[in-house]
Amino acid sequence: MSGSVTLVGAGPGDAGLLTLGGLRALQAADVIVADRLGARAVLEQLAADGVELGGEVIDVGKLPGHHQVPQDEINDLLVRHASAGRRVVRLKGGDPFVFGRGREEQIHCETAGIVVDVVPGVTSAVSVPAIAGIPLTHRGVATTFTVTSAHDQLEPGGAVARAGGEHTVVLLMGVNTLGHSAHVLASGGRGADCPVAIVEDGYGENQRVTIGTLGTITQLAAARRVRSPAVIVVGDVVRLSPHAASPTASD
Ligand SMILES: C[S@@+](CC[C@H](N)C(=O)[O-])C[C@H]1O[C@@H](n2cnc3c(N)ncnc32)[C@H](O)[C@@H]1O
């Protein structure tokens, strides 16, 4: 029997946001190669709900020394198991193709002659703001949104920095570079009063919402010891959140 790889988006960490296609792939898998963020929580919730998955789970989110398994090793692991005839699910947080290196893994496997399917997932970029009551677009408030990685650094004078008030900016992986991002966006035309929300650990035990402005958010985040993982939303849509009524609301 020839093996296969299915890239499955686990969503943000709530089993209710795993797709039916994702669940079916997990149930059919011989091997599940799981990330830490999002994926592990979904597997644990499925087990707690009595959903039996027969596949061997390989956790590539961390090793005993707490280091993530390098991408090359993950790629090789997928090819090795699929080449041995196993049905492999690569379970990734959110959506595999949104800052998830999903296409890299797909290309690596296909180059090795492995058939790869993709089951998209619910990205944290949309779902984590939603749990805080923040829509990314809203009639009369925002018509456009950009999802960007703070790793890629917002360029002063660049397209995202210059975008106007009806443009929501969503930052992933942005906690450590929050000060830089807030400065670039404030000086790019939105001004220091533009609302900002940080949603930490969406759908997790430590979910918490911090609301401020581009002018205040860096200090607020430091005072509240905001930590990754978090989704940062910049724009007037933040005012629509119920948390915006009490500016540093915490859940
Ligand atoms: C490497 S990116 C992966 C994104 C993923 N592919 C997706 O579509 O959601 C990791 C970043 O996603 C965000 N993230 C993912 N899950 C999250 C969650 N449950 N709560 C808050 N942020 C989350 C954080 O910004 C984190 O640093």
pLDDT of residue 68 exceeding 80, the answer is: no
What is the 116 CA–ligand 1 centroid distance (Å)? Answer: 23
For helices 71-83 and 102-111, angle between their N-to-C axes, nearest 10 degrees: 40
Ligand 1 pocket, residue 93 CB under 6 Å: yes
Predicted confidence at residue 203, as pLDDT, reads 97
147-206, pLDDT tens digit by residue? 998 766 678 878 888 888 799 999 999 999 999 999 999 998 789 999 999 999 999 999
212-240, pLDDT tens digit by residue? 999 999 999 999 999 999 999 999 999 99
The structure tokens 């041995």 sit at 84
What is the 229 CA–ligand 1 centroid distance (Å)? Answer: 6
> Residue 38 — very low, low, confident or very high, per pLDDT cuts 50/70/90?
confident
> Residue 210 — very low, low, confident or very high, per pLDDT cuts 50/70/90?
very high
CA distances from 67 to 61, 95, 109, 186, 230 (A): 8, 22, 23, 35, 20
Which ranges in the chain are annotated with CATH 3.30.950.10? 124-250
Question: Looking at the domain that runs over 4-119, which CATH code has it been given?
Answer: 3.40.1010.10
Which ranges in the chain are annotated with CATH 3.40.1010.10? 4-119
Residues 85-94 have a mean pLDDT of 97
What are the E-state strand segments in the chain?
A: 4-9, 31-34, 56-59, 87-92, 115-119, 144-149, 167-172, 195-200, 208-213, 230-234
Q: Which stretches of 49-113 are DSSP H helices?
A: 71-83, 102-111
φ and ψ at residue 18, rounded to 5 degrees: -80, 140
Give yes or no: 14 in active site: no
> Does a cis peptide bond (omega within 30 degrees of 0) precede residue 12?
no
Pairing of β 115-119 and β 4-9: parallel
Give yes or no: 62 in active site: yes
Predicted confidence at residue 5, as pLDDT, reads 98
Give yes or no: 92 in active site: no
Confidence (pTM): 0.94
Burial profile 96-126: b = 16 or more Cβ within 10 angstroms, e = fewer = bbbbbebeebbebbeebebebebbbbbbbbb
For the chain, give the percent of residues with pLDDT over 90: 82
Please give the CATH superfamily to which domain 124-250 belongs: Tetrapyrrole methylase, C-terminal domain (3.30.950.10)
What is the 175 CA–ligand 1 centroid distance (Å)? Answer: 11
Q: Answer yes or no: are the C-beta atoms of 45 and 15 closer than 8 Å.
A: yes
Pocket probe for ligand 1: among 8, 172, 199, the residue whose CB has the most ligand atoms within 8 Å is 172
pLDDT of residue 65 exceeding 60, the answer is: no
